Amino acid sequence: MVMVNVKTILTELLLIAIYVVLSHLIKRFVRTNKLQVVGWGFTTFLFFGMGFYNLGWYWSAYPLAVWMIWAIILVFIQLTHNHEFIYKRYWPPFWQYSMIMSVVVFVASFFAGLLPVI
């Protein structure tokens, strides 16, 4: 059984804590709704980056493929629902669900040592 690298997990938790403090300070001094979408995007890339670091080059292709398929599905949902594609309506749900997916990938990546080496 492969052990989880505690030093990496602690470093990533420290990065998350720094991110939470910085985003709280930015939200306190900058009052705008567009900042929320930017925050979802940055959070997504932060968690995906740390998850991909834990997973390695081979296994990170699978969450990335699921993310791309999810983006295409959202486009088709908007096309069938509204009969048009508008970026302004597309980006908030895309980044919200991407953030949720990236957190799931990050938490699952803690157990990347249990994946077979290819």
Please indicate, yes or no, if residue 96 is contained in any of the structural domains: yes
Task: List the chain pLDDT tens, one digit each, 118 residues.
Answer: 455 677 877 888 888 888 888 877 777 777 766 666 677 778 888 888 888 888 877 888 888 899 999 999 998 988 898 888 887 788 888 888 888 898 898 888 877 766 676 6
Please indicate, yes or no, if residue 99 is contained in any of the structural domains: yes
For the CA atoms of the chain, what is the radius of gyration? Answer: 17
Per the structure, the count of domains in the chain is: 1
Which range marks the domain in which residue 91 is found?
6-114
In 3-state terms, what secondary structure has residue 49? helix
Please indicate, yes or no, if residue 1 is contained in any of the structural domains: no
pTM for the whole structure: 0.74
Please indicate, yes or no, if residue 64 is contained in any of the structural domains: yes
Return the closest-CA partner of residue 49 out of 102, 107, 112: 102
Please indicate, yes or no, if residue 94 is contained in any of the structural domains: yes
Cα–Cα distances in angstroms (integers) from residue 41 to residues 53, 92, 95, in the given order: 18, 9, 6
Please indicate, yes or no, if residue 18 is contained in any of the structural domains: yes
Using CA atoms, how far apart are residues 47 and 2, in angstroms rounded to an integer? 22
In contact, 63 and 4? CB cutoff 8 Å: no
